Amino acid sequence: MNALLFPGQGVQKVGMLNDLFENNSSAKDIVNEISSSLNFDLLELLVEDPENKINLTEFAQPSILVSSILVSKFIKIDQKIEITAGLSLGEYSALVYTGCLQLSDAVTLVNHRGKLMQSAVPEGTAGMLVVLNMPISDVHKMIDVINNDEERINFSTDNADGVSVLAGKNVAIEACKNYIEVNDYKRVKTQMVQMSVPSHCYLLKEAQDKLATLLNEVEFKEPSIPVIPNVLAKPTTNVEVIKESLVNQLTNTVRWRESINYLVTNGLSLMIDAGPGKTIINMARKIKDIEKLSLFE
């Protein structure tokens, strides 16, 4: 089984499509056309970013989606893709690839999604913490302990074995760091995620309700191949299930580790990463006996 996988926010960087633009003038035309539906110049953002906006959620999300889709469109993939998935924001890219969403609709959606997320959480009040080398069972135990102390933390993203991301207000993030130190987890490392808004947590409930309204205004078609929604970790082609999953994704855990495990268990032979930086491939480095390719190589 061959899978095309799309990255989420955090992989964006200025110039990530420069090689593609040099070799495919029509790629620039597509970006310019998309810009007409946005309130900013997407091409300028991707090539130069003179105002240093690309890492802000409302700008990062359309940048990543468009980059992933253009690369998957213009770079020839010899193998037949049989299933797809996307990490967090990447789920929208996967839906565009399968024809479930039109690119123009998806770009508008993720731009609004980013704005809703940005406005839902006051800047500097919350964050996301990567926890490395802690067993999943211990991560859940830590979350239970901290939440019992009335500091609320959510398991934002279950990326891979030993790679977990937590989200919550700053005081809860500090409580996690303190828990790890007090309990003497010598091998466990932590680092803050460089994102302007925490994702997949209770703080986005207001944004979630508004996103549900926006999704109902957009046409969805049955995808050409199965898609694995983040909150389900198993494939579907049901449009209503897909829409519901996009809504639930904002406040629920991204089950990426389980999604990859599903693919491996069901005969995955080739994993293709459609994003810069090889984030998807790197998280799967411990998985043996499957071929891994990056479209950005």
Q: What is the DSSP letter of 48?
A: T
Sequence-ordered alpha helix ranges (H) in 121-215: 136-148, 170-182, 205-215
Cα–Cα distance between 196 and 205 in angstroms, integer? 17
Count the Cβ atoms, other than its own, within 10 Å of residue 196.
18
Catalytic one of 93, 199, 200, 259? 200
Question: Is 140 a known active-site residue?
Answer: no
Cα–Cα distance between 208 and 213 in angstroms, integer? 9
Q: What is the DSSP letter of 292?
A: E
Burial 201-225 (b: 16+ CB within 10 A, else e): bbbbeebbebbeebbeeeebeebeb
Count the Cβ atoms, other than its own, within 10 Å of residue 56.
16
CA-based nearest residue to 218, from 119, 107, 72, 117: 107
Q: In this structure, is the dihedral angle defined by the CA atoms of residues 266, 272, 274 and 276, taken in order, positive or negative?
A: positive
Catalytic one of 68, 88, 156, 196? 88
Cα–Cα distance between 266 and 126 in angstroms, integer? 38
CB of 93 within 8 A of CB of 62? no
Count the Cβ atoms, other than its own, within 10 Å of residue 123.
8
The token pair at 23 is 């070799």
User: In 78-184, where do the E strands start and end?
Assistant: 83-86, 126-132, 153-160, 163-169
- Residues classed as catalytic: 88, 200
